[in-house]
Structure formats: structure tokens, C-alpha cells
């Protein structure tokens, strides 16, 4: 990252919102990862647009970060700019039944806001780690609920730097995918449409789902949630278990014994440890059942390519 670019970015955002060589283990739920060359946190949409414009003009590599809940950063770090949306967390009522949430707002915070306004339909997302921005990219879901069921519109920045509003249909939501996945669109905010409900019933449902998560998932360890997408006609966790990989360990990383669909940081794992577990699991399941598991986790930085 050259000094001229860094100085230009300092003219856009305040000094305290630019950090050089920031350790990414502080910003991922795996709690691993080396330093990003530049970590920058715009305070509003105007600054974000200017930062992105400058990075693109310089041809700089960059990654837009929410909560880091589906991200594995190389131990060597990332030789580029991480643009954090940590200042984009506002959640507000747009109408009696709709909520506007900025991209950096946690799904849990939105669920609590909906609960307090006696709005039902977002309970499924209360335990989904990460932000609503990331949830849009992946059409995040749990317990028979998906984002496509509650999203009315999504405001994004296009690859050309334009502000665009996409309808739910425009988003082309599918299983753990959307229109913007893999493209240089950046989510700014989401309009969620819910229905009026009874607060006691909403609290009860959220409590029930939270207990089910605690019972079945290794929430006591750092992880990125479900590590693999569900393969068609099967379940990743069952395939991994049946392949004899429950508890499979490399260094400090392992396949959770509680839920084989989770790769966890059990004991001061490195990103390389986690990556190796993911790679070995994919190879073993493929050898055993002819199914190539697809990671939900995004790899940032230098990793050996995971081969089929």
C-alpha cells in the first residue's frame, strides 16, 4: 500500500479511522489472521463512496468487512485495504411494520429491535452471526427462515460507484446466494418488512431457537458458524460424521464433536490449521461419497487453492 494512497485516504477520513497493519484476528469470529496493510473505517456513506472511488482509481485491492463472521484471513495477512462497516450500525423504524437497518447492524440487534416493537418474522435470524449486509450476500437463513422472506429492498453501491436500490426480486435470492454474491456490489442498508405479533410469543420463539442453538452448536468456541453449504439432498454435518471425521484435528483447529458441520478454533489455532481441516474434510468426504463440499467461509489473503 503506497504512501500517496494512504495520505489521500487520510484526507477523506479522520486519522483515528485509518490503521496500518491491523491484526485481523481482532475482526474475525475465528479469532485468527495476520495484519491487513490498511484498515479503514468510513463514518458515513459519503466517506465510504470517496474511499472506494480512491481505491478503485489506484487499482488497489480491497475487501469490505462486516462482522468477519464468515471470513478466514491468512496468517500472512492481507496485502490490501480492509474497509470496515463498523460505523454503519443504525437500526430504525421505517413504518409500523418495517425496519431500516444499515449494513453493519448485527442480525441479533435487528431481531431485538423487532421484538421490542412487537414485530414477528425475524426471530430465525436472532442467532445468525454477522451483519445484515453479509446476510444479504448469502441469503442467510436458519430454522426454516431465510432473508428473502423478509427483505423488501436493499440499497447498494454498484461496481461503478453508483447508489442503487434493488427489490427483493432483483436480489435473486437462492440457497446461500444472491444476485450480488461474487460481484463488487456493497450493501448500504436493508428494508425489512415484518408483521405485527405478540411480544410474549416472539420472546418465547427467540428463546426456544437460542436454546436449540446452544444444545446443538459449539457456541463456546470461535468459529464461522456452519463451515460448509448444505449439499443437495444431504447434510454436510452428516457426511462429515459418516466419513469418520468427528473431532478430526490439525493443530488447534478441529471438526466439532458437538456438530460436525462446524470447524472450530479449539486451542489457539492458526488460519493454516483451520484451512487444513477444511481441505482435508472436503477431500475425505469426496473420496467417501463423491460429494464435494463447498465452503461458506471466504478466504482472504494467500492460501493454497483448495483442490477438488
Spell out the per-residue pLDDT of the chain, length 308, in tens: 788 899 999 999 998 999 999 999 999 999 999 999 999 999 999 999 999 999 999 999 999 999 999 999 999 999 999 999 999 999 999 999 999 999 999 999 999 999 999 999 999 999 998 899 999 998 998 888 999 999 999 999 999 999 999 999 999 999 888 999 888 899 999 999 999 999 999 999 999 999 999 999 999 999 999 999 999 899 999 999 999 999 999 999 999 999 999 999 999 999 999 999 999 999 999 999 999 999 999 999 998 754 44
Exactly one of 56, 176, 213, 246 is catalytic; name it: 176
Into which CATH architecture does domain 236-300 fall? Alpha-Beta Complex (3.90)
User: What pLDDT digit, counting tens, does each position of 75-95 carry?
Assistant: 999 999 999 999 999 999 999
Is 117 among the catalytic positions? no
CB 51 within 8 A of CB 68: no
pTM of the model: 0.91
91-216 and 3-84 share a CATH fold: no
- The structural domains of the chain, with segments of one domain joined by +, span 3-84, 91-216, 236-300
Measure the CA dihedral 172/173/176/179, to 10°. 30
SS3 46: helix
Q: 3-84 domain in CATH 3.60.21.10?
A: no
Q: Using alpha carbons, list the distances in angstroms from residue 247 to 32, 109, 250, 284.
A: 20, 32, 10, 14
Exactly one of 22, 102, 153, 296 is catalytic; name it: 296
**91-216 maps to which CATH number?**
3.30.465.10
Is 207 among the catalytic positions? no
Exactly one of 226, 256, 271, 282 is catalytic; name it: 226
pLDDT of residue 307: 47
Is 296 among the catalytic positions? yes
Q: What is the DSSP string of 200-231?
A: HHHHHHHHHHHHHHHHHS-TTS-B-SS-BPPP
User: What pLDDT digit, counting tens, does each position of 126-178 carry?
Assistant: 999 889 999 999 899 888 899 999 999 999 999 999 999 999 999 999 988 89
Amino acid at each position: 500500500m503506497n504512501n500517496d494512497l494512504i495520505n489521500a485516504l487520510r484526507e477523506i477520513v479522520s486519522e483515528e479511522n485509518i490503521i496500518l497493519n491491523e491484526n485481523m484476528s481482532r475482526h474475525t469470529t475465528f479469532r485468527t489472521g495476520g495484519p491487513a496493510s490498511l484498515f479503514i473505517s468510513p463514518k458515513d456513506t459519503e466517506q465510504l463512496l470517496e474511499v472506494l472511488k480512491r481505491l478503485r482509481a489506484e487499482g488497489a485491492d480491497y475487501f469490505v468487512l462486516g462482522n468477519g463472521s464468515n471470513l478466514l484471513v491468512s496468517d500472512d495477512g492481507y496485502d490490501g485495504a480492509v474497509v470496515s462497516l463498523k460505523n454503519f450500525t443504525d437500526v430504525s423504524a421505517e413504518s409500523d411494520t418495517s425496519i431500516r437497518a444499515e449494513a453493519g447492524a448485527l442480525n441479533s440487534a435487528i431481531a431485538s429491535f423487532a421484538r421490542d416493537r412487537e414485530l414477528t418474522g425475524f426471530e430465525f435470524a436472532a442467532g445468525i452471526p454477522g451483519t445484515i449486509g453479509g446476510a444479504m450476500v448469502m441469503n442467510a437463513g436458519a430454522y426454516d427462515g431465510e432473508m428473502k422472506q423478509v427483505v423488501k429492498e436493499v440499497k447498494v453501491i454498484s461496481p461503478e460507484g453508483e447508489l442503487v436500490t434493488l427489490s427483493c426480486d432483483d436480489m435473486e435470492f437462492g440457497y446461500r446466494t444472491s444476485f450480488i454474491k461474487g460481484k463488487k456490489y456493497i450493501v448500504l442498508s436493508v428494508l425489512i418488512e415484518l408483521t405485527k405479533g405478540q411480544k410474549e410469543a416472539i420472546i418465547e420463539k427467540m428463546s426456544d431457537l437460542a436454546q436449540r442453538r446452544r444444545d446443538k452448536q459449539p457456541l463456546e468456541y470461535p468459529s464461522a458458524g456452519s463451515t460448509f453449504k448444505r449439499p443437495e439432498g444431504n447434510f454436510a454435518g452428516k457426511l462429515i460424521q459418516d466419513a469418520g471425521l468427528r473431532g478430526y484435528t490439525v493443530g488447534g483447529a478441529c471438526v466439532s464433536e458437538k456438530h460436525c458441520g462446524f470447524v472450530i478454533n479449539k486451542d489457539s489455532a492458526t488460519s493454516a490449521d483451520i484451512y487444513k481441516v477444511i481441505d482435508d474434510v472436503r477431500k475425505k468426504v469426496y473420496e467417501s461419497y463423491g460429494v464435494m463440499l463447498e465452503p461458506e467461509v471466504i478466504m482472504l489473503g494467500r492460501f493454497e487453492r483448495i483442490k477438488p
